[in-house]
Amino acid sequence: MSQSILLGVSGGIAAYKSVDLVRRLRERGHTVRVAMTQSAQSFVTPLTFQAVSGHPVGCDLLDAATEAAMDHISLARFADQIVIAPASADIMARLAQGMANDLLTAVCLASTAPIALVPAMNHRMWHNPLTQANVQRLKQFGFAIWGPAEGAQACGEYGLGRLLEPEEIVQCIEKKISNSPLHGKTIVITAGPTREPLDPVRFISNRSSGKMGYALAQAATQCGAKVILISGPTALTPPKGAQFVSVETALEMHQAVMQHVQNSDIFLGAAAVADFRPSENSTQKSTKQSVGSSLAITVNPDIIHAVGQLNPKPVIIGFAAQTEALESKARSKRIEKNMDVIIANQVGHVEGGFDSDMNSVDVYTAEEATHFDLQPKVELAHRLIEWIGHYYGKKTKHSTENIR
Ligand X SMILES: Cc1cc2nc3c(=O)[nH]c(=O)nc-3n(C[C@H](O)[C@H](O)[C@H](O)COP(=O)(O)O)c2cc1C
**Residues carrying an active site annotation:** 155
Give the residue with the Cβ less far from ligand X, 32 or 121.
121
Quote the CA–CA distance of 366 and 344 in Å, as a whole number.
Answer: 14
Instruction: Answer whether 2's CB lies under 8 Å from 30's CB.
Output: yes
Task: Say which amino acid occupies 400.
Answer: T
Give the residue with the Cβ less far from ligand X, 84 or 191.
84
Provide the minimum distance between the beta carbon of 142 and ligand X in the complex, in angstroms, as a whole number. 20
Binding site for ligand X (CB under 6 A): 10-14, 37, 39-40, 88-91, 120-121, 125
DSSP-derived letter for residue 148 is P
Provide the minimum distance between the beta carbon of 41 and ligand X in the complex, in angstroms, as a whole number. 9
Provide the minimum distance between the beta carbon of 42 and ligand X in the complex, in angstroms, as a whole number. 8
Distances (CA, A) of 283 to 61, 198, 200, 289, 292: 49, 9, 6, 16, 17
Helix (H, G, I), strand (E, B) or coil at 253: helix
Provide the minimum distance between the beta carbon of 358 and ligand X in the complex, in angstroms, as a whole number. 28
Classify the phi-psi angles of 117: left when phi > 0, otherwise alpha if psi is within -120 to 50, otherwise beta. Answer: beta
Residue nearest to ligand X (CB): 12
Provide the minimum distance between the beta carbon of 209 and ligand X in the complex, in angstroms, as a whole number. 33
CB atoms within 10 A of CB 61: 18
Give the residue with the Cβ less far from ligand X, 84 or 344.
84
Give the residue with the Cβ less far from ligand X, 42 or 328.
42
Give the residue with the Cβ less far from ligand X, 150 or 357.
150
Burial class (CB in 10 A: 0-12, 13-18, 19+), 32: buried
Give the residue with the Cβ less far from ligand X, 133 or 296.
133
Provide the minimum distance between the beta carbon of 60 and ligand X in the complex, in angstroms, as a whole number. 13
Quote the CA–CA distance of 179 and 187 in Å, as a whole number.
Answer: 17
Non-local (6+) Cβ contacts of 191 within 8 A are 210, 212, 213, 214, 216, 217, 229, 230, 231, 232, 234, 270, 271
Distances (CA, A) of 58 to 18, 86, 112: 15, 16, 19
